[in-house]
Amino acid sequence: MPVASPNQLFATLIATLIATSVARAAGGRSRTPAGPRRNMEGVSDQKLEQEVAAIYRQLLDRAPEDHVVPTRSRVEAAVDLLGQPQRTYKVIHVAGTNGKTSTARIAESLIRAHGLRTGRFTSPHLRSFTERIAIDGQSIEPAALIDAWSQVAPVVDLVDQRSAADGEPPMNFFEVLTVLAFVAFADAPVDVAIVEVGLGGTWDATNVVDSTVQIITPISRDHEDLLGSSLESIAGEKAGIISSRVVIGHQPPAVAEVLREAVTKASATAHWLGQDFAVVSRDLAVGGQLVGLRGLAGRYEEVFLPLFGQHQADNAALAVVAVELLMSDAVEPLPASVYVEGVETVTSPGRLEVVANSPTVLVDAAHNVGGMQALVEALDEAFPVGLIGLVGVLKGKDAEGLLGVLEPVLRRVVVTRSTSPRAIDPEELAEVAREVFGPDRVEVVQRLDDGLVRAMDLAVGDSPDMPGALASAVIATGSVTIAGEVRTLLHRP
């Protein structure tokens, strides 16, 4: 898009300040936009999709989301100019290493069961970047995205110019996307936004919200180049979102100590899984599990959770307690109908998801050792057969650690790669895999589509070197991109 002149940007700034003052004086929830609104009436679906694609290209032209400068100043400047859209709704803020997206989705489902309108901001995406910004449980509509972008783009240009004048880099992909989500939620308008941290916590772009409740899911090692090489340093960064009432999942002792100190420093109130609330019953069921919970305010009888594994039951407990805290200062139990509907209708694509049958193909976005350990425990419980692995890993990840955790549950592993430029070359990954599995259990396939076909053949025993092998299932994992691209290959929406 063309770069606006300084005079145009100054005029936008003045208009924003005036509009914000008027909106605040009126006392309404609606936010008057900084720039002209786009009229989408009569625009074809094809044209809308083209414009959405163009917005995504502009986002991709920016520094990627893992190129982090430890400051929130650029996002703070942008939301200031836009009239603080993130303060027009309540927020549940979710940080941690694993389980953030599933926990956010369960919390959102419970809030929608209350009859409230929701926004959900999660990352990364499996197929389309519009998945990251969801309104009422659905990816944002193209018209709404384009409208929000028409307001955000001139403000981002202004912030970038200020950053350049100060010798700082422009806003990166994730920072701009975060601001875009906040504006889209304010325009909807939503009653509650569930906002997942992108990376860390303290300096994360999302940490400009004034959240009502914070959730810290299990913390383990990941992004050590950015967050530090010790669990304590990683926990310290993620604890940066703690401000008022925080719900905390199971943590290693060193992490728990850091979080306790952060809670005290913030004068917050903490509620710990396994102490203040708990998963009290769990039974395997077809397509998921039956889960009973003890919340802060009451006990919730067993209902069907269509997700596999102890970790998902724990995520459900975190979500239930967060919504208890959100809905009432007195912390009252959720109505039984809300609990049942919210839990039974939840989905979490790419999280031990069955995407095909005959043979069964599962995908999971596990990409760090902690996430892979949770996956293996769930596989051992729900799919206790010799599985065929379809694995691709991104550079910078602990490939040996990931493969080592997977090894006990796999008969064979097909090593491949996604289309991500960060994907480790299959031959390089295979060298690590042979050390872990032994050479006879490792195959290398350069293309993911060919690798999927080969893994499915092995799962049904259709292999000359494995005559009469028992049918099993395929688990595609190792990165979010592997999970997402396998879903696309198998035509999952």
3-class secondary structure, 198: coil
Confidence of residue 29 (pLDDT cuts 50, 70, 90): very low
Mean pLDDT (whole number) for 400-411: 97
d(CA 192, CA 211): 10
3-state helix, strand, coil in the chain (%, to 5): 45, 15, 40
Of 288, 259, 290, residue with least CA distance to 273: 259
Q: How many residues does the chain have?
A: 493
8 A C-beta contact, residue 185 and residue 208: no
Query: What Rg do the C-alpha atoms of the chain give, in angstroms?
Result: 23
- Beta-bridged to residue 247, according to DSSP, are 215, 271
d(CA 105, CA 345): 10
d(CA 408, CA 402): 12
Q: How do beta strands 299-305 and 353-356 pair?
A: unpaired
Mean pLDDT of all residues belonging to the chain: 90
Lowest mean pLDDT among 248-252, 404-408, 481-485, 489-493: 489-493
Quick one: pLDDT at residue 27?
Answer: 41
CATH code for the part of the protein at 6-344:
3.40.1190.10
Domains 6-344 and 353-489 share a fold: no
Q: With pLDDT > 70 as the criterion, what percentage of the chain qualifies?
A: 89
- The backbone torsions φ and ψ at residue 214, rounded to the nearest 5 degrees and listed phi first, read -115, 145
Of 445, 443, 477, residue with least CA distance to 355: 477
Quick one: pLDDT at residue 39?
Answer: 62
Alpha helices in 166-191 (DSSP H): 173-187
Lowest mean pLDDT among 62-76, 217-231, 287-301: 217-231
d(CA 380, CA 382): 6
Q: Is the pLDDT assigned to residue 4 strictly greater than 90? A: no
Quick one: pLDDT at residue 185?
Answer: 98
Quick one: pLDDT at residue 229?
Answer: 73
pTM beyond cutoff 0.75: yes
Mean pLDDT (whole number) for 244-251: 97
The domain ranges of the chain are 6-344, 353-489
3-class secondary structure, 383: coil
Quick one: pLDDT at residue 18?
Answer: 41
8 A C-beta contact, residue 36 and residue 153: no
The gap from C-alpha 361 to its chain's centroid, in whole angstroms, comes to 22
DSSP classification of residue 274: T
8 A C-beta contact, residue 139 and residue 145: no
pLDDT tens-place string over residues 282-324: 999 999 999 999 999 989 999 999 999 999 999 999 999 999 9
Q: Is the pLDDT assigned to residue 341 strictly greater than 50? A: yes
Mean pLDDT (whole number) for 122-145: 96
Q: Is the pLDDT assigned to residue 216 strictly greater than 90? A: yes
Say how many C-beta atoms besides its own lie within 10 A of residue 115's C-beta.
8
Quick one: pLDDT at residue 160?
Answer: 97
Q: Is the pLDDT assigned to residue 25 strictly greater than 70? A: no
pLDDT tens-place string over residues 152-161: 999 999 999 9
8 A C-beta contact, residue 96 and residue 217: yes
d(CA 253, CA 232): 10
pLDDT tens-place string over residues 410-459: 999 999 999 999 999 999 999 999 999 999 999 999 999 999 999 999 99
In this structure, what token pair is assigned to residue 160?
């970038």
CATH code for the part of the protein at 353-489:
3.90.190.20
